[in-house]
Amino acid sequence: MNSEKPNPEYDDPLELAAIQDAAERMGDYKLKTAPDYTVPDHLRLNTDKARNRLIAVKEQVGFLCIY
């Protein structure tokens, strides 16, 4: 088994490229972990927004028949 074990000093170029791509696309999330961060109003979800989303999804699927 030890002979099949990969070299710990070898870095696979595909893995390095995937890590770099993820770091570029992921964004900067330090702001959201700040103690003084507040969610903007347009991103907040309340019961009215959730209800409207649920109704829209049900209409798309065809569960609600509005007469």
Q: What is the pLDDT of residues 25-63, one digit of tens each?
A: 887 677 777 788 888 888 889 999 999 999 999 888 876
Between 12 and 65, the higher pLDDT residue: 12
pLDDT score at 46: 93
- Residue 67 counted as domain residue: no
pLDDT score at 6: 81
In the predicted model, is pLDDT for residue 64 greater than 70?
no
Query: 18 falls in which pLDDT band (50, 70, 90)?
Result: very high
Q: What is the DSSP string of the chain?
A: -GGGSPPTT---HHHHHHHHHHHHHH---TGGGSTT----GGG---HHHHHHHHHHHHHHHT-----
pTM higher than the cut 0.95: no
Question: Could you give the number of structural domains in the chain?
Answer: 1
Provide the domain limits for residue 50: 2-61
Taking a C-beta distance cutoff of 8 angstroms, is the pair 55, 64 a contact?
yes
